[in-house]
Amino acid sequence: MRNDADTHFVDGHISIKMRYAEIIETLFKKFPFLEQRYLEEGEYILGLPHPIFSIVFVPYIRETVNNNDVWAIECVCEFFEEMANSIDEMVRELLMASVLENILPERTLIKTLKKHLKVMTMKLLLSMEKACGWDPS
């Protein structure tokens, strides 16, 4: 349960104080089984959020969608939304650069995720699609 001091409103949305400095720990709290995958990757990504999200989290996202694991997809999309609503700009950049940008060309995967994305994540994704020239439909 979140402490009220960890949330506030920004542009009419609840903004969460998810911090970049704690993002790896936050990822493993939400998805504890990913920590083993992280450790298996070796020391070259230790403590580095962008490689961890690209190399460990993104493949898990692909697995959940490919397996049509609706519960897991919902969990992933909720985590995306927490990142998208973070007051820490570096957390939002991590979501965009190391997660969404990685999967953006995978149009079937994006189409599936869009059925589950929340408001702020959808806004980020649509702006990225537009910037890259993708048809957002």
How high is the mean pLDDT in each 10-residue block of the chain (137 residues)?
45 66 96 95 91 97 98 97 95 97 96 97 95 79
Query: Residue 15 pairs with which residues in a beta bridge?
Result: 8
Report long-range pairs for 31-36 (Cβ below 8 Å, ≥24 apart).
31/57, 31/60, 31/75, 31/79, 34/60
Alpha carbons 74 and 121: distance in angstroms, whole number: 13
Instruction: Please state, in angstroms and rounded to a whole number, the distance separating the CA atoms of residues 19 and 29.
Output: 14
Q: What is the pLDDT of residues 117-127, one digit of tens each?
A: 999 999 999 99
Q: How far is CA 37 from CA 25, 41, 51, 103, in A?
A: 14, 6, 12, 19
Helix (H, G, I), strand (E, B) or coil at 7: strand
With b for 16 or more beta-carbon neighbours within 10 A and e for fewer, the 43-56 pattern comes to eebeeebeebbbbb
Residue carrying structure tokens 């994704």: 125
The pLDDT value recorded for residue 13 is 47
Q: Which helix (H) or strand (E) holds 10?
A: strand 7-10
Residues 9-31 pLDDT 10s: 445 445 567 899 999 999 999 99
Domain boundaries, the chain: 24-132
- What's the whole-model pTM score? 0.86
Tokens of 14: 């609840």
